[in-house]
Amino acid sequence: MTDLAHLRVRQVSSADLGGPGAPVAELCSALAIAALREEAGPNFRMTSLALDVASHPLTEAPVDLIARVDKRARSIVFVSVEARANERLVFSAQGLFSAAG
C-alpha cells in the first residue's frame, strides 16, 4: 500500500498536454521533467529520464499529476510521476537525479 503522505498531487488541464486529442509527447515530457525536478529538489540534477506516453485521446477532464520520491540517498534520488485523467494513464515518467556540485 502506498503511503499518501509521500505523494505530491496536483491537477493540470488536458489542454496542457495537447488535449482534447491524443497527448503530445513534447508537452508531457516538459511537464514530467518539471514535476520530477520539483520533487527531487534544487540540489540535484537530472541524469536519466524514462517517459511513456499513452495514445488514447484525452477528454476535457482535468489530469492528476502524482509525483513521489521512490528512493533518496545522500547523492542520488529516484523520482517518479504519473499523469491520469479519469483513472486512465496519460503518461508515466521516472527520473534519476545526482547531487549537483
Instruction: Identify whether the C-beta of residue 59 lies closer than 8 Å to the C-beta of residue 94.
Output: no
Which strand (E) or helix (H) includes residue 95?
Answer: strand 88-99
**pLDDT for the residue 5:** 47
Omega within 30 of 0 (cis) for the link into 42: no
User: In order along the chain (101 residues), what is the average pLDDT of each group of 10 residues?
Assistant: 59 92 95 94 95 93 94 94 94 96 74
**pLDDT for the residue 8:** 75
Q: Model pTM?
A: 0.87
Q: What phi, psi does 73 have (nearest 5°)?
A: -125, 180
**pLDDT for the residue 4:** 43
**Location of C-alpha cell 511537464:** 31
**pLDDT for the residue 101:** 74
What is the third-level CATH fold of 4-99? Answer: Thiol Ester Dehydrase; Chain A (3.10.129)
Cα(21)–Cα(37) distance, integer angstroms:
27
